[in-house]
Structure 1
Amino acid sequence: MPTACPPATPPAPLNVRRPRHRRAAALAAAWALVSVPALAADDCAAAAAWPLWQQFAQRFMQADGRVIDYSVAQQHSTSEGQSYAMFFALVARDRERFDKLWNWSVANLSGGDVAAQLPAWQWGRKDDGSWGVVDANAASDANLWFAYALAEAGRVWAEPRYTAQAQALVALIAKHEVAELPGLGATLLPATQGFMIGPRTWRLNPSYLPVPLARAMQQLDPKGPWKAVLDSHARMLGETTPKGFVADWVAWHVPEGGGTGAFITDPQKSDVGSYDAIRAYLWAGMTPRSDPLAPLLQKRLGGMASLLQGGASVPPEQVHVSIGHVDGQAPVGFSAALLPYLQAAGAQGALKTQQERVRRELLEAPKDAPARYYDQVLGLFGTGFMEQRYQFLPTGRLQLRWEKACPQKGRSATTTTR
């Protein structure tokens, strides 16, 4: 979202020992609220089947691979939406749609050459009624998801072309969307341009860098800036969450004449955490427990879990993070996004409440209910993770439920280890 506006837009590993006695019963009851299809070890179709993805693709994806958000006047498509959908298609073992999504993105957002041009953020109806790129700025979070989906698709489908495209894209991200900020070091900017918002002041987005994706970038680009980028990201989360909540936007400011610099409230966007920030909790919940940053995430982002465990039945739509004041009731997508986070926090009461809401308002919603794009996206991420359709390993590698049930021919040792 390079124009800096809101989007219109870890549970244990799969081989963990089962909990016992009452804890097992409670956990089983909570999981039952989000239906998990029974699988046979050799049933590839059942392992990959994902009804919510099929529903999303039918509602929001054209036959040519374009994902459309119908809630905005431009009927726009974004690099964020395209990259998320590629990830979901990979999780669903839907290679046909994966290819269509990527081919449309390259042709329409990257001018046909992703090795030379980062994807534009927004494509849609222009003011003159024509169709094309509306905002050519590139969104770094979307680009990371593009690269990650391509790299993992290259591995599981033994497709070197995907891997090469992922490497080319990561090189462009490192070159154009990572900056050395005074006093902070290598930092992921939200876009290629437009986020230096004043003298010695940069606008940053805490939700743009999922830790598992950064770990994967370290593997894909070992000589790149990714360790330093993770260090600056950890510092941002540690210094901008005084009450355990995350803001949509924060700023890094270096005093005139130098100095060490400090994080400040964004002078234009204020301290509100809402439609962007909800993803920070989602990514934190997906981060493996063994990741070195997992304790920081659990400690610094604990405000939402405490709020919901304390009796709030619906997540707030907005939080003023500097004082912990909450406003409004969030849509069901927020509840879905919080499922992995609440599971990781051990907030079983809040988890059960949010699972029930997700089941009622999203998974079992009437067919004629309005289809809300962002709710569907967050729902796919949150419920897909809770159903163990995918998990992230400590290296950032993706563990897919269908991999063992759907053996791939021609996979070499270099494509199966990361």
Structure 2
Amino acid sequence: MTRADGTGRRRRDVLRALAACSALPMLGGLARDAHGAPAMAASAPTTAGGTCAPVNWPDWARFKASFLSDDGRVIDRSMGDQRTVSEGQAYALTFALIANDRATFDTVLDWTANNLAQGDLTAQLPAWLWGKQDDGQWGVLDRNPASDADMWIAYALGEAGRLWNVRRYTALGALVARRIAAQATDFIPGLGRTLLPAPVGFHPAIDLWRLNPSYVPMQVVRYLAGRFPESGWAQLISSSRKQISLTAPPLGFVPEWAMYRAGRGFEIDPDTKGEGSYNAIRVYLWAGMLAPDSDDLHALMHTFGGMLRYVAAHGAPPERVNTRDGTANQVGGAGFSAALVPLLHAVGDTAHAQVQVARARGLEAQSAPGYYSSVLSLFGLGWYDGRFRFAADGTLRVPWEATCATR
């Protein structure tokens, strides 16, 4: 495989004095938090010499072994082009931070900059799609950035800067956040300043926009608005919550995509026809992981009644659901069950949450999950196991912070 050159030299100029944190014990016997899920450990022990070792997170270790190349590329092996998407790079950065895995974080960040941003994330947003081209060469397949990936990258950088006390990460996160707000938003009558899925291709008519509710996890929106106040993200809080709350009613299922027409509001997307599936499952996941004292959780927790009732009645979430009439024809896989666990806890349905945990673990034991299912499980089951939480302002809370983070 080729690698982008130019200014794409390894950016390993930051001191690596901070090692990662010590192993997090299994949490089955710990106290429960306000959700009824295992609470986070208050701190983690240090190793000899006062430094910290990476968190012992078996699911993350399996993900790296299955999908992460030595040079920092997350590979979707189910696709013929062996593609990498910027979303996968963003999630890997987030999981590496949760695991206090600084070496992997830097490797993933380097690959992302070198190959998706032509060597410089300070100058441009990353392309969303990279893989094997028709001529057999490797490189960018679609240069349009994906705003959901980019905001998770900005988030991971901002929190890495705070937790690891690295100013370069913080500065880079601020630049990425500002560039998203400048290039991938638009003022939409009735919504206000709104995040678009990408800078190009989602404003097909003067009065029409195509939006994706799964692209606006409220904890990340809140974080970027608070952490980088000059980025413009504060203007996106209201419209982001509206994308979620106004697309799920009346049946309580979230669609993959939705059209918004000025003067009329949200309409059915003609391409996906109101279906909810692999995009939409993340909306329930993001909402469930909101802090118990979050205004956003209080505003959204009654939005998803259709999905919660379906899970209670059928024992698993649907892989695809018609959000207009609630019909579904197939249950989702392990990742879908894992994605519903935090929301079930948030509404107090711990019994069905535990059923979904058992189902997800059982399916994963039967056959190795794919890239996307593994991502959903890392979020959903990692949250359930108490490996991380989000505060009301979106700040990441990890058990190792008090002991291992440098101040």
Which amino acid in the other structure matches residue 247 of structure 1?
A: P
User: Aligned residue for 2:87?
Assistant: 80
The two structures have a TM-score, normalised by structure 1, of 0.84
* Contact residue 335 and residue 354 of structure 1 kept, 8 A: yes
User: Aligned residue for 1:250?
Assistant: 258
**Is residue 129 of structure 1 aligned with residue 136 of structure 2?**
yes
Comparing 88-97 with 348-357, greater Cα deviation is found at 348-357
* Contact residue 47 and residue 405 of structure 1 kept, 8 A: no
**Is residue 357 of structure 1 aligned with residue 354 of structure 2?**
no
Alignment of 1:30-45 (within 5 A): 41-43=44-46
Alignment of 1:325-404 (within 5 A): 325-362=327-364, 365=365, 369-404=367-402
Q: Deviations over 1:132-182 (max 9, x none)?
A: 000100000000000000000001111000001001101100100111113
Deviation at 1:199, TM superposition (A): 4.6
Q: Deviations over 1:362-413 (max 9, x none)?
A: 2xx15xx3341111111100111111111011111111111123242xx2xx
* Contact residue 122 and residue 175 of structure 2 kept, 8 A: yes
Q: Percent identity?
A: 42
Deviation at 1:39, TM superposition (A): 9.1
Give the secondary structure class of the aligned counterpart of 2:400: coil
Deviation at 1:299, TM superposition (A): 1.2
Deviation at 1:220, TM superposition (A): 2.4
Q: Deviations over 1:8-59 (max 9, x none)?
A: xxxxxx9xx9679xx99xx6xx86xxxx999984256688210110110011
Give the secondary structure class of the aligned counterpart of 2:121: coil
Select the residue among 393, 402, 405 that pairs with 2:403: 405
Q: Deviations over 1:281-329 (max 9, x none)?
A: 00000111222121221111222112222x3112111111122222211
Give the secondary structure class of the aligned counterpart of 1:280: helix
Q: 1:90 to 1:19 in 2, by over 3 A?
A: closer
Which amino acid in the other structure matches residue 302 of structure 1?
A: G
User: Aligned residue for 2:15?
Assistant: none
**Is residue 230 of structure 1 aligned with residue 232 of structure 2?**
no
Deviation at 1:261, TM superposition (A): 3.5
Comparing 178-187 with 122-131, greater Cα deviation is found at 178-187
Alignment of 1:9-408 (within 5 A): 41-43=44-46, 48-241=55-248, 242-254=250-262, 260-309=263-312, 311-362=313-364, 365=365, 369-408=367-406
Q: CA RMSD in A?
A: 2.4
User: Aligned residue for 2:18?
Assistant: none
Deviation at 1:270, TM superposition (A): 1.0
| Aligned mates of 2:368, 2:222 — CA distance in 1 | 37
Which amino acid in the other structure matches residue 357 of structure 2?
A: Q
Task: Give ranges in structure 1 of 5+ residues lacking alignment.
Answer: 1-13, 255-259, 412-418
Q: 1:240 to 1:157 in 2, by over 3 A?
A: same
* Contact residue 39 and residue 46 of structure 1 kept, 8 A: no
Which amino acid in the other structure matches residue 380 of structure 1?
A: L
| Aligned mates of 1:194, 1:407 — CA distance in 2 | 41
Q: 1:47 to 1:162 in 2, by over 3 A?
A: closer
User: Aligned residue for 1:9?
Assistant: none
The total of aligned residue pairs comes to 374
| Aligned mates of 1:219, 1:93 — CA distance in 2 | 23
| Aligned mates of 2:54, 2:77 — CA distance in 1 | 31
Give the secondary structure class of the aligned counterpart of 2:213: coil
The two structures have a TM-score, normalised by structure 2, of 0.87
* Contact residue 226 and residue 234 of structure 2 kept, 8 A: no
* Contact residue 317 and residue 328 of structure 1 kept, 8 A: yes
Comparing 395-404 with 146-155, greater Cα deviation is found at 395-404
* Contact residue 107 and residue 113 of structure 1 kept, 8 A: yes
* Contact residue 37 and residue 46 of structure 1 kept, 8 A: no
Comparing 37-46 with 167-176, greater Cα deviation is found at 37-46
Which amino acid in the other structure matches residue 266 of structure 1?
A: D
Which amino acid in the other structure matches residue 330 of structure 2?
A: G
